[in-house]
Chains A and B, each alone.
Chain A
Amino acid sequence: MTLLTIENLKACHGLLVALHDLSFSMAPGEVLAIVGANGAGKSTLMRSIAGAHRPVQGRIMFRGQDVTRLSAHRRVRGGIALVPEGRRLFPGMNVQDTLHLAACRKGVWNFETVLEALPQLKPILKRQAGLLSGGQQQAVAIGRALMTNPELLLLDELSLGLSPVAVDGVYEALPKLRAAGTSIILVEQDLRRAMAAATRLVCMLEGRIVLSGAAGSLTREAVMDAYFGLNRQAH
């Protein structure tokens, strides 16, 4: 059984083609890491799955249903949540309200369980999101996405702009999410971290998938070659 199937997806920014005829699928419970250089189309792919970017061609199937034409908020209610690049919190809203806002689907995640999974949020519940540190903001963004009880959680560039310590704090939460049965797609620049966190790795180059495999089966060298577009076969 597949959770998500992408078929021949093409997406553009104006005249620029960001995704070329892209296809892949993922099973429930997987943690898929997408790596690739800047401009490889990773964020566009994430935004297309979440419904924040409208693809030109292709289909997105989620749990056997075609969601390609569905608007973003309907996909959220169907179980797809995106933690967008740059976090995109509501600067004037406090943490507590931000979390409550996103509660729109029943499931294991509620205000209490989210706070258990992200204990760093407890002392800052009354503070405005715009005044928090980068790591705190990222935790709020993840908490906000969790409150929607996603079956598929999309994490776009979690570690961007964070200190290594803050990144550790954010990544510590991931196993808890998996344990709760959430499937995850994460975009990550840090190859080592991506390979450690993921069950499967997908490498993108110029809008195409150039390498894909179980995280344990790929060597760092093979991924690096694919990352930079070198035509050396993985062993």
Chain B
Amino acid sequence: MFWLNQFLQGVLLGGYYALLAAGLSFLFGVMRVINLAHGSLAVLGAFIMMVIYQTLGISPLGGLALMLPVMALLGVALQFCIIEPSLKGGALVPLLATFGLALICDNVLFSIFGADTQSFAADIGTLSYGSWAIGGIFISQLACLVFAAALLVLGGTQLLLSRTQIGRRIRATAEDEDAARLSGVDTRLVRAATTALAMVMVGLAGAALGASGSFDPYAGGPQLLYAFEAVVIGGTGSLWGTLIGGIVLGVAQGVGGALNTHLSQIAGHAVFLVVLIARLYQGGALSAYLRRLRMRVA
């Protein structure tokens, strides 16, 4: 029972990681940009939400409705001020520029809010501790909500990409920008919309982080690592793979943490490395298996 509980908690934690990774995966899939400021921007989202609660005192949902548009606008700014100019400089410049952005973001947050660990678990009422007991296992309502949000974001993105005109435009831009332009697609606008959408996902992840855990101005680095690990474990470019990756990471951390508190993070990183090495060395067989698995899930 103990292990089943640990496993389930890990799966639910994996929902958060998948939500966190969705934006990173989406941006990478469309623009081939790895945003090193991803984690820091998620933490920024959490801070924005906290400020909204504390100054306006409105409901969690209202705060989310205010914070997400702010994140979307930040995404547009990010696209036009950083990503687009840096893409002209080759593959390395976006990495350097977004890393600089992460440094700015972390330290600006630090200068405003100090090093204190923050959380707005207290602001969301019973949701933060409410749980269902099923046969001796307690399942947190909030964790379920986050997991559902992850499913919604990943599934929604999948539907958006496959069924809508903007989705087709995003895919066309990702595959061949010149040809997309020649098909009448304003690729600059599509890219801006993509980054805005990715930032909305990042904002949701930030809200989940603030509601279910604690954060501080320098929490962005670890969040980036978790998101990245989920993406790589699940296979880059696959949205459902990201969910699987998040769950694998969450379960590894949960089970590792149950063995020994120090082991929680080590287990997560170790699973990531093992998957990475396995993929590199017996790439063929393993990735084919994962692809089949993904197809079955999708």
* Residues of A bordering B, CB below 8 Å: 50-52, 71-73, 76-77, 81-82, 84, 88-93, 97, 100-102, 104-105, 144-145, 148
Q: Which of A84, A89, A93, A145 contacts B168 (CB 8 A)?
A: A93
Smallest beta-carbon distance A155→chain B, Å: 13
Q: Which B residues touch A92, using CB under 8 A?
A: 171, 175
Q: Which residue of chain B is the closest to A84 with respect to CB atoms?
A: B182
Identify 5 new A-B residue pairs, CB closer than 8 A, beyond the known A88-B178, A100-B165: A89-B176, A90-B179, A101-B180, A101-B185, A144-B183
Q: List 15 A-B contacts (CB under 8 A).
A: A52-B178, A73-B185, A73-B186, A76-B182, A81-B182, A82-B182, A84-B179, A88-B178, A90-B172, A90-B175, A90-B179, A97-B168, A97-B171, A101-B172, A102-B183
For the complex, what is the distance from the CA of A77 to the CA of B186, rounded to whole Å? Answer: 10
**Residues of the B chain whose Cβ atoms lie less than 8 Å from the Cβ of A97:** 168, 171
Q: B140: CB under 8 A from chain A?
A: no
Residues of chain B within 8 A (CB-CB) of A148 are: 183-184
A158 CB to nearest chain B CB (Å): 15
Task: Tell me whether B165 and A72 are in contact (CB under 8 A).
Answer: no
B292 CB–A CB distance under 8 Å: no
Q: Tell me whether B169 is interfacial, beta carbon within 8 Å.
A: yes
Question: Which residues of B are at the interface with A, using a C-beta cutoff of 8 A?
Answer: 165, 168-169, 171-172, 175-176, 178-187
Q: How far is the CA of A103 from the CA of B186 in the complex (A)?
A: 13
- Which residues of chain B have C-beta atoms less than 8 A from A84's C-beta? 178-179, 182
A76 touches B184 (CB 8 A): yes
When chains A and B are docked, how far (Å) is the Cα of A232 from the Cα of B185?
46
Decide: A73 near B181, CB < 8 A? Known: A88-B176, A90-B175, A93-B175.
yes
Using A90-B175, A93-B175 as known contacts, say yes or no to A72 and B181 having CB atoms under 8 A apart: yes
Which has the most chain B C-beta neighbours within 10 Å: A71, A97, A100?
A: A97
The residue on B at minimum CB distance from A149 is: B184
Are A104 and B171 neighbours in the complex by a CB distance under 8 Å? no
Tell me which residues across on chain B come within 8 A of A91, comparing CB atoms: 175
Do the beta carbons of B181 and A101 come within 8 Å of each other? Answer: no
Q: Closest residue of chain B to A76, judged by CB?
A: B184
Task: Determine how close the nearest CB of chain B comes to the CB of A224; give it in whole angstroms.
Answer: 32
Residues of chain A contacted by B175 (CB below 8 angstroms): 90-93
Name which residue of chain B comes closest to A77, CB basis.
Answer: B184
A82: chain B residues at CB < 8 Å are: 182
